[in-house]
Amino acid sequence: MMKENTKNKLRSLWRAVTNPHLLISVGIAWFITNGWSYCFFGFGMYFHIKWMYRIGAFWMGMLWLPGTPEKLVTFIIAIWLLQRLFPDDTRTLAKIKKKRREVHEVTKLEFAKLRAKFSRKKHRGEPEQNGQPAESGEPEQKDPKQDT
């Protein structure tokens, strides 16, 4: 069962990645975010244009730093291009929309858990709330001297 499930997921991923419309969109998006720097670097070296060479080399160096959002931006642009260039590709767009909904729900749930966790930590450290003493798990003990 596990093997079949993995096989189906890999097959679905392969179909999505080899979709010609998505490949064209990712290629154009990649050129928008990265490809121009390789062209600048190459043309700058070939034609001895220092500013072009330096800008291309700088951006290519930035791409190798950890934490650059370049890949995320590339795929956001690719999805946008896919919607604009190929609006009739409803199968791919439906898969993207479904996956986006799933990610949104998981993110929403995880954020709610995180917010509840921080809320508990915050309330644990506060002795009073709104002028009322903090509630403890034990019932209050009455002082026998005060009954009279």
What gap in Å lies between CA 16 and CA 94, rounded to an integer? 11
At residue 97 the predicted structure's pLDDT band, cuts being 50, 70 and 90, is confident
Pinpoint the alpha helices (H) of 18-49. Answer: 20-30, 36-46
Cα-flanking dihedrals φ and ψ of residue 117, to 5°?
-65, -45
60 and 33 Cβ atoms separated by less than 8 Å: no
Side-chain-side CA neighbours of residue 137 (13 Å): 1
Give the residue with greater pLDDT, 126 vs 16: 16
Average pLDDT, whole number, for the chain?
83
Structure confidence at residue 11 (pLDDT): 84
The answer on pLDDT for 136 being more than 60 is: no
Q: Tell me which residue of 28, 68, 60 sits closest to 41, measured CA to CA.
A: 60
> Which phi and psi angles does 33 have, rounded to 5°?
-90, -30
Could you read off the pLDDT of 3-15 as tens digits, one per residue? 888 888 888 778 8
